[in-house]
Structure 1
């Protein structure tokens, strides 16, 4: 019989989470469940249930390209530059430079979130250098839509020929505007004024953040700010390094750190008798080639050699003799609307999507959609090429996901507990109702559907 229960933090629950997270960090076994991270408030739709009640057939869990993209994302988040004139360094924390965060305002990506984010300061600003004076037609400001959109209700636009003397062109009238969610960015006419620099700014103490800034020459619909150098008045804890879009590399490759850690891992695994010698040799070949690359080496060459080293380390990690199992239990879920709220486990703030899954074949080589990297060739394990079956079908190779909750109504799943003998599974589930999070009086339970609460 179902009953409403408070969900408490059991040690075993946290152990499962910790184990899965550790495997994720060490080997990047799983691609983020992108289909489960669409925010309905930003125009996305929750995952739809399948009409079939049978468990879903195992499907590829990820591609090699997704793993490589995740490695580069880790590099962005772990980079630190303590001295603007010093060498790039990498560590679990980082300090981003203003121009690195500001690049997110001219990267062409409109997500409904922030492309750049200053600190809370007096008169914050962001600006782009168009490279030469241009007669300007208009500026489009794409606002942050997930929260705090009202901060830009009095935003200003100024222009300059030299980046020193500024002319204020426009100040908004106080109305909140959006962009990605409604297709209506703020359009600021510039009426042919000639300028090289365009600045957006606020007056008084505030944060400044926008999704994207587009600048158009008079009589043209081409965004001339795309990929141009940008900077801003400060950075914040929400700032990050954005890859450049003007043909220049974004975050440098921490090759020395990858090689150092790979060698330490190889030494430990060799003591355990793991068959890692081919992978260690591959790592050393990558290290040797990297040492011969000059500062002017093409970006595609540096990227290829870097990923060659990363794949070698990953294959060593998966050769650990302690990995004697072949299945991992996990959940996919969309984060709740307010994950920091104390009442998040009542289901009020949940969003639909995800489910309970089994990851199979996690030590196998992932599939690749292109043939442009070391992972596309068969590795020492013989993986990397799909073989034709007798039926003419290409079998699924690499890590595979099998859904155990296919056919359930759209909802959210949390905190799976697996019995010690691996035969029983306990988890919590709440059905998703789009209107529930907006109900003002949630204390009165008559206002809420019973199955909107988590049930075991």
Structure 2
């Protein structure tokens, strides 16, 4: 009976008002929605411009699923030297974008990418779309940067280098849907190292910089089973947890680590997401699938007498298959 009443009410509403519906796809948070999609760039470097004529450098190289960072492997894009070079991918329809991960060229010239802008919107002209943040900078010793875009909506995701006579080379661009629900939430850790740096909220400040000296990483004292946790404010079904490690020193300290999810503010009382996790110490981040585990608190704990440092923790909930935003006007 209630279903019929609801339908009747919608029918009456639509007869006297205009119903505006916006469809925004929210696929699973861990899915790269750019993979294999149509990509374009503002120019293509060729032998005429000094590039190797037998190495493919077209825009599709950044969405081929290959993150290899050596240009000579044939999986990186390359524009000519030009003003404001740009690259963009057509996702086919609008998505709510959680983050964009960019893989840089590392065999040569990694500094060329700095600074960069990310644009998201429904225009095929990159610069006409809103920017995700401001000028982003990649730490040139590491192959990738992950930028949070907090649900910005759009069909096109673009990378643009502002300035004169610049060259844009991208080895992969990954686009993930979903919103980081840990951002700006209350965070706690089991101890502090006694210095002014290392605050627990540094892991939920939106800054994924992996150099501790930049004041965006946590730091406990050396202790038994050090832990850090974030209060999401209410229970969520957690699809994925993304952890950014410290890279200027001691990246091996994080191994092994446990992730706990549940409704207790005591980390170890909550169930574990998987077992002992290990991060590749040559990579700044690790993404751990938690398959919809439910809880208000998400924690990271190091078993044993250890020191815990986290440069960012991002938490992504499970998906609804299609999100309908509507307004009756």
TM-score range, shorter chain: 0.3 to 0.5
* Higher helix fraction (1 or 2): 1
| Higher gyration radius (CA) | 1
* Higher strand fraction (1 or 2): 2
TM-score with structure 1 setting the length:
0.26
